[in-house]
Chain A
């Protein structure tokens, strides 16, 4: 019996009441913890039960790799041998707590590292809503740096409003612009700073729809384009050749009611090629996108050994030990 609270978290992720790659990852770890705590079967069935819970969580949204990475981290604890249910549950709870703590610490570290790259008097463009970006800008502002942020409203769901709220409530000078005005504003910009839903093994960025055309425009105008991303957003599956699935959402998000006879397409994400990215700011340091492979192999500990991993079950994830 899967607890209602867990089902609710899964629904909240699917319906975007819980959104943002980092928050989704932490919510998934939390859900696994709740599921483990409320387990009342025997030890033999525990792993199967936890697998079932993780399948439900995995099915919510396909694109952000933080979700399977978080689940993978916690589920590794499930797959060890235990003498009792209590022992197994304790191990899962510990792993989930570790992940959540790590994730929060990572945000803080990204804020610290990234804020050093913000200069006084800058004009910065950001897109959608990213906790890592807000962490950087908030830290820089606290350090006394003064800058101006243009936040895109981010159709169709207007996550730019959340960014504007996050920034303006800290006193940061914030202006919302339409997504269509990015090229117009780029002439005035010194820096573009965005978050990430996933980073592939060749250094491409998967992020909110619109990111790649902003990166392209930044390149045209010679404006540096930085990405802020925790290491658990790097995708080990892409190393095995898997493509990141771009989620296509309900057309009603674009136009409600839709018009009969007009096809509405609503992909939620797009891919920015590494050549448009100047730097990725992670909690373990600043890297060029081409070095994404180092994060996946050296830091996260994934490798193609003999045959390609079929999915997250077979991969080895080591988090939290080295920052």
Chain B
């Protein structure tokens, strides 16, 4: 009993730390707390500063940027004139959005699970809450699926993914990132989540995913991306690139640093559309080049009419400052 609760708590913690959707959601929840406890325009300004900083620090987090854009847009168009009104507007928008994200994820996972047969071996990479939801659906259906997971250096999220899959009752094989090609033929399908999806259907995910995609293509194993449509980055329609944070390998031995060895550990990378067989969102299973179709459904038009987050933030800030000075 106690162990089960502990496991669930641990799981929640891992989701917060490791999954793209979960990481973005936890930032939005923190923002919501800041908004709900706002007593003045100063408090609200601090809250949107927090949100904008989070977006600037994680420009690759499509969900975070998309949600932030919606919130700022909602605030600007509401014409809220009092702190109370503004708090209500932003707060209810965020709550609705968090629910929507949850529903979209569930729906996408459900569609993906339908496509997977009962005895499949699914190769996945890194930690993805959305992919876990696919497995939850499969397990609930009584499917005896198995999983192969890579450890995902440098942070080892794959180990946590393996743990989470095991606690769902899925049989898991854990391998080093270098063993992808050696094990790909044992898989019937590759299923991955997404950090972001670009205009042409290229999918940005944890580093190592491109290797997995290349190996899958060579072995003729199909690769599916499962993601809510909120991971599409509308800026990419206008040529903007989705960057990847570049870090150093944190646990490199000191003596190597001393003799001038450098290290380099990009966190994300893009998988070109040619390596993706299908993208599954809450709006259905499509071919990656058909992303504009999903965009039209999601943003109401194609090309999408979206404003840059920088402009919205500046405008919202100006408006709040004006309200602050002229009560």
* A interface residue numbers (CB < 8 A to B): 150, 152-156, 161, 164-165, 168-169, 174-185, 208-210, 212-213, 216-217, 220, 254-255, 259, 261-267, 270
Q: Which residues of A contact B107 (CB under 8 A)?
A: none
Q: Given A176-B263, A180-B208 in contact, is the A259-B166 Cβ separation under 8 Å?
A: yes
Q: Which residues of B contact A255 (CB under 8 A)?
A: 151, 159, 174
Chain B contacts for A263, CB-based, 8 A: 171-174
Interface of B is mostly: mixed
Contacts of B166 in A (CB 8 A): 259, 261-262
- B residues 172-189 touching A (CB-CB < 8 Å): 172-183
- Which chain B residues border A220 with CB–CB below 8 Å? 214
**Of A168, A180, A267, which one neighbours B261 at CB under 8 angstroms?**
A168
Which residue from A152, A165, A181, A270 sits with its C-beta under 8 Å from B179? A270
**Which B residue sits closest to A171, measured CB to CB?**
B260
Is B5 on the interface with A (CB-CB < 8 A)?
Answer: no
B265 in the interface, Cβ–Cβ < 8 Å?
yes
Pairwise interchain contact A182-B179, C-beta atoms closer than 8 A: no
Identity of the chain B residue whose Cβ is nearest the Cβ of A176 in the assembled complex: B263
The listed residue (B211, B252, B253, B256) touching A180 by CB distance below 8 A is B211
Q: Are B172 and A262 in contact, with the CB atoms below 8 A?
A: yes
Among A161, A177, A266, chain B packs the most CB atoms within 10 A around the CB of A177
The number of A-B residue pairs with CB atoms under 8 Å apart is 144
Q: Are A180 and B215 in contact (CB under 8 A)?
A: no
Question: Residues 239-274 of chain B: 1 if any A CB is under 8 Å from the residue's CB, otherwise 0?
Answer: 000001000010011011001111111100100000
Contact B249 A178 (CB under 8 A): yes
B68 near A: Cβ within 8 Å? no
How many chain B residues touch A (CB < 8 A): the figure is 45
Q: Which residues of B contact A174 (CB under 8 A)?
A: 260-262
Check if B259 sits within 8 Å of A176, measured CB to CB: no
**In whole angstroms, how far apart are the Cα atoms of A182 and B244 in the complex?**
15
**Which residues from A are CB-within-8-Å of B182?**
209, 212, 267, 270
- Render B149-171 as a binary contact track against A, CB cut-off 8 A, 1 for contact: 01111100001001100100001
Residues on the B chain within 8 Å of A208, using CB: 178
Inter-chain contact B180/A266, CB cutoff 8 Å:
no
Selected contact of A155 from candidates B153, B207, B261, B264, CB within 8 Å = B153
Residue of A nearest to B256 (CB): A164
Q: CA separation between A180 and B209, bound complex, in Å?
A: 8
| Bound form: Cα–Cα A262–B265 in Å | 27
User: Chain B residues near A161 (CB, 8 Å)?
Assistant: 252-253, 256
Q: How far is the CA of A266 from the CA of B150 in the complex (A)?
A: 11
* Max count, chain A CB within 10 A of own CB: residue among B174, B178, B214, B261: B178
Q: Which of B151, B176, B210, B255 is A184 in contact with, Cβ under 8 Å?
A: B210
How far does the Cβ of B121 sit from chain A's closest Cβ, in whole Å? Answer: 12
Pick from A165, A266, A267, A270: contact of B259, CB below 8 A: A165
A266 touching B163 in the complex, CB below 8 Å, given contacts A176-B256, A179-B153, A183-B269: no
Q: Determine whether the beta carbon of B215 is less than 8 Å from that of A184.
A: no
List B contacts of A184 (CB < 8 A): 207, 210, 244, 266, 269
